[in-house]
Amino acid sequence: MITSRATWRNQPAIAGVARLFRDKPLIPLLILLAALVAAFAIVRPGADFPGFIAAQIRTAIPLAILAGCQTLVMLTGGIDLSVAATGSMAGFVAASLYTGPNSLLLAIGVALGFAALIGAINGLGVGVFRVHPLIMTLGLGLVILGAANAYQLQVVRTRSGVPPELRWLGSATEATFFPDSLLVFVPVAIFIIVMLRGTGFGRLLYAVGDNPIAARLSGVKSWHVLLVLYVISALLAALAGFLVSGLTNVASVTLVNPRLLPSVAAAVIGGTSIFGGRGGFAGTIVGALILTVADSLLSTLGYPEAARQVLFGSIIVAVAAFYARLTTES
């Protein structure tokens, strides 16, 4: 196997593609995305193309934000399984506290406050008590789900709906091609990208994930970093929760759950390594778009949900294996 891999890398054409993938992972991903969009244009020649694009973006945005949580956490070698519960909770709390336009800020503020608390607990568990991130976020996810469920029973009498402002933000489209959720997403994306590329904190996320020993020897106290990280992750999850509830016009405590595993998948396809230290948000955005467009394309082609899932899983394994091959040079 060792020799076969060596020859594989020695073939100039494939090695060139491999280098392209490694150095500029975004380009091949964008090509793949463009191919998927083109494929849609071909199979549905007469369809409302701008409308299709807008719908894809609208669907992809909450997924991309959740995948942003995973990206940040995976850079440090962790994973955040509590984002679904946090997002659902935030959407539900905001809806339940909303009584009219005047209460919007309060409703959103309370939801974000709870999210920050959840993030802080995660951060303390992972950073200070050294609980495996998988277990910490899984356990806390259960706690949130149970508490939110109990809360749901309390407020079920007061008929609550998704605030119209969130509905507008999550599902409306301007001039048939500009989804309003971009108003939230563009600042969020800029925030994450600038944080990762241009701040000391972003550098430390990579450092802690790439080599915790080196980070420690350089004087980094990783629990500080992890605490802030998980709070940011939970706040982003809450934002995604608002958008999902707006998009679907549903407020339920399990609303975001179906997007949990795809959020991990989007980050992986975007080139972020679960072992930490490598990746970025730009790739993740493209990863989320690829998953969304591939899903619509397959359903347009009449593939059943089943085939889509099988393909979905196969793509993740294949892409992850490809990255693993590229990056394990000995």
Considering only 33, 64, 115, 207, the residue that binds other proteins (CB under 8 A) is: 207
Among residue numbers 222 through 281, which ones bind other proteins (CB under 8 A)? Answer: 224, 261, 264-265, 268, 274-275, 277-278
CB atoms within 10 A of CB 129: 9
CB of 216 vs other proteins, minimal distance in Å? 6
Among residue numbers 1 through 20, which ones bind other proteins (CB under 8 A)? Answer: none
Using alpha carbons, list the distances in angstroms from residue 50 to 60, 74, 167, 182.
Answer: 15, 34, 21, 15
Considering only 29, 215, 251, 294, the residue that binds other proteins (CB under 8 A) is: 215
Q: How far apart are CA 67 and CA 280, in angstroms?
A: 11
Binding pattern to other proteins, positions 84-123, x when CB under 8 A? ----------------------------------------
Q: What is the DSSP string of 39-82?
A: HHHHHSTTS-HHHHHHHHHHHHHHHHHHHHHHHHHHHTT---TT
Using the rule CB under 8 A, is 27 a contact of other proteins?
A: no
Among residue numbers 276 through 315, which ones bind other proteins (CB under 8 A)? Answer: 277-278, 304-314
Among residue numbers 43 through 72, which ones bind other proteins (CB under 8 A)? Answer: none
Q: How far apart are CA 35 and CA 33, in angstroms?
A: 5
Q: How far apart are CA 263 and CA 73, in angstroms?
A: 12
Tokens 């939970």 locate to: 234
Query: For other proteins, which is the closer residue by CB, 116 or 228?
Result: 228
Binding pattern to other proteins, positions 128-147, x when CB under 8 A? -xxxx-xxx-xxxxxxxxxx
Using the rule CB under 8 A, is 172 a contact of other proteins?
A: no
CB of 141 vs other proteins, minimal distance in Å? 7
